[in-house]
Structure 1
Amino acid sequence: MTVNVHSGWYLAAFASELDGEAVPLDIGTRRLVAVRGEGGGLRVYDADCPHRGAHLGQGGRVERGCLVCPFHGRRIGLGEPEGEGSRPWVREHEVVVCGDAVFVRLTDGPDDDRGLRATLKELAAAKPLVKAVERPVAAAADLIVENAFDTDHFTALHKVYRVRGMHHHTGAHGELVMDGEFPMPASPWRGSGAGPSPAAARAYVPRFHARAFSPGVVVTEFGPRHEVHVIVTGAVPDGRGGCVARVAVGVGEGRENQLPMLIAGSERALAEDIAVWEHLNPRVTPRYDTADAAVVAYREFCAGFTDLDPLEAP
């Protein structure tokens, strides 16, 4: 069985769960370590010690700008060395922290950002993300983001009242976009203290605007123009054919009381998906039809990211 790690972005962790100076933050077969600086800032590096391959996040410690290897006590530089003859070092990876969500980019070139860095900067200012759910899934990581482009599953699996106008296209930065509407008889926030207008109480027509920035991250804006919520779904391969699925959510200022319902909805939807994903037969060759055009587009989008360090898993 071949386990590949793709280039591009991952929702790699929640910052509130990264305790300690040096914490393992592996992505599939790529062994990483998250390091907190003196000011609390988070940086991520390769975790394989150049000396003998010990995992620097498993017992390593930070000392004067270096990681001290737990195996032989060697001091390992963080980031590329400044000059010839410098001590052994490990590569740094780009990190963006948006609220509680930690995004890491494993890059093979400039084209695999697809605009996520700028999107996260906007979210951090307007709708910082909080943890909704994190669960292991015994299924391939790419199934998680694919969900945003599988129109029929919304009504069949999640019992969404109705979807309409769903169409996909490529965004300005190469991201894959899905647009449509989920008309509802009434706002789901009635009784939440949000105080919807009489018009909102009669009809609620949220826009569904999903943007996949990599096979591992999709950012979905959901709601009518006056009440847009953000749901970020990610998947990190576990190196054994499964993955860890994470969902983070964000709401605008003054709507924090809607977070519990949004989190509960995310937990419920992910549980419904997992019940299907973990019973799919990967040996079945898909027979796509016209209703699967967006899913096919997503699969083609995934093929545009480089496989990094493919290894044969046992």
Structure 2
Amino acid sequence: MTITIAQNTAHPLTVSRLGYGTMRLTGPDIWGEPANRPEALEILKTAVAAGVNFLDTADYYGEDVTNRLIAEALHPYPAGLVICTKVGATRKPDKSWVPFNTPENLRTSIDNNLRTLKQEQIQLVHLRLMGPGTVPLAEQLGAMFEMQKEGKIQHVGLSNVTRAELETGLQLGPIATVENMYSYGQRTTVQLPHSANPGGEEVLDLCEQHGIPLIPFFSLVHGLPNVGYKLAEIAQKHKATPAQLNIAWLLHKSPWLLPIPGTSSLAHLRENLKAADIRLSAEDMAYLG
């Protein structure tokens, strides 16, 4: 299963529909070095060797931890590997998440990502929105599109967006991808300690209409608790875990979904990758609802 990002542009990117999110490779609270650095490096190598060619990262993971791990494990990068990063936020020493989204901030972040990832151009960058009261969206996206013209960014995406924000973004310029929280058990907005996270269900139909891949994040963190018996029942039917069924449900929900389940465990990575082999019937999907 593959999906094409920016399919109607001069530089489309075709990737496997099961990617890998690197956030969990950091230390506790998404801060600091991994508890097991050799395993973290092996996870990246194993994922790519298994056919994963879409990695999601950000320079504020760690900070800079996941970018440096990616470069250490995989540079020089194999042909076809797409590394997607995010800008628009940063971390304070108290581990809080704060906006970093003025045009100057965004340029600083892009330059930092280029340096730590050892790249001359970033193939896909998500502008993560940090809620109302910050820099206007048009100003943020304007800075992103300017860096796209300069060649620092190939494609621009949006992350953590409401439907209204996505509609505005589409009027401002080409949006290649959207990255929102989405899973079987978490489909609409959820309030986290540092921000409200709009759900994937709120924008999925709009993404489908425009041929924009929707990249679900946190699908295993907030998607499994308290989802009821149906997911576990279908998982048992397919001799799979509920986590694997959650990934399989996303893959079957829409051909425009590109899940990026993350983990800091090599064993769990291998389990997650096997989810791509699960074939849910129309009856399974109807029963899951």
Structure with greater strand share of residues: 1
TM-score (norm 1): 0.24
TM-score (norm 2): 0.25
